[in-house]
Amino acid sequence: MLGCKQRETPAAPRHLLLITVDTLRADYVGAYGRKGNSPTPAIDSLAAAGVRFSHAWTTAPLTLPAHASILTGLTPAHHGVRLNNTHALPESVPTLAEELASQGWDTGAFVAAYVLARRFGLARGFSVSDDRIPLPAYAGARLEAERAGSQVVDAAIEWLRQRHGKFFLWVHLYEPHAPYEPPPPFSGEVPRRPLRWGGGRR
């Protein structure tokens, strides 16, 4: 066609890194327009060096259904996971990790929230699925239990150090989610007025 030329075939990726962060508001991320000093310099650097989607929307406002969509490419109506702690991804629904594992990729998942534990089906296809999250008594029926992001990242880095071929790594973090107990130095920034879900104040 006039004015067009054939695009070069991109090189096959060697690695795939998926980082998901629960309830992180876009307007608190520098790459998405946060004013003043950005609290997310690492995310901003990744966005500047890669592709940033300006109009990306979740398929569901709940952790498990949304992640099921990310890892299957399907909406909740098609993968069957509609609620946290109630549904599990059916074994008949293929996942990205299963597909990559079948092609020889090494796969690892490291999650911070109990609602993403292996019992809910998202661990399929991952050769390592690290969901060592204690379930304390206060978790209640909604199973709101988590572990520190530093523990998740340390475990993921240790896994990475042992990889020699192409890999798919999923790292899930939970700090922005209630009950709002940020680690230092963030705990000192708004000690008495942490943000609530939806943007309000306590």
The ranges assigned to domains in the chain are 15-32+94-181
Nearest to 19 by CA among 158, 171, 150: 171
* Cβ-contact 110, 171 below 8 angstroms: yes
What element of type H or E holds 171?
strand 167-173
* Number of neighbouring beta carbons within 10 Å of residue 202: 10
The distance between the two most distant Cα atoms of the chain, rounded to a whole number of Å, is: 67
Least confidently predicted of 36-45, 93-102, 177-186: 177-186
pLDDT of residue 5: 45
- Residues 6 or more apart whose CB falls under 8 angstroms from that of 120 comprise 64, 81, 85, 87, 88, 89
Give, rounded to a whole angstrom, the gap between the first and last alpha carbons of the chain.
59
CA contacts within 13 A on the Cβ side of 27: 3
Instruction: Please name the residue ranges forming H helices in 90-148.
Output: 96-102
Confidence of residue 177 (pLDDT cuts 50, 70, 90): confident
* Sign of the torsion formed by the C-alpha atoms of 135, 71, 81 and 123: negative
Burial zone of 143 (CB within 10 Å; 0-12 exposed, 13-18 middle, 19+ buried): middle
CA angle 176, 179, 184 (to 5 degrees): 60
Burial zone of 89 (CB within 10 Å; 0-12 exposed, 13-18 middle, 19+ buried): buried
Average pLDDT of the residues in 106-133: 95
Query: Can you tell me whether residue 26 is helix, strand or coil?
Result: helix
5-14, 114-123, 138-147: which is most confident: 114-123
% of the chain at pLDDT higher than 90: 55
Query: Can you tell me whether residue 43 is helix, strand or coil?
Result: helix
pTM score of the predicted model:
0.83
Q: What is residue 201's DSSP assignment?
A: B
Q: Which two tokens stand for residue 155?
A: 């475990």
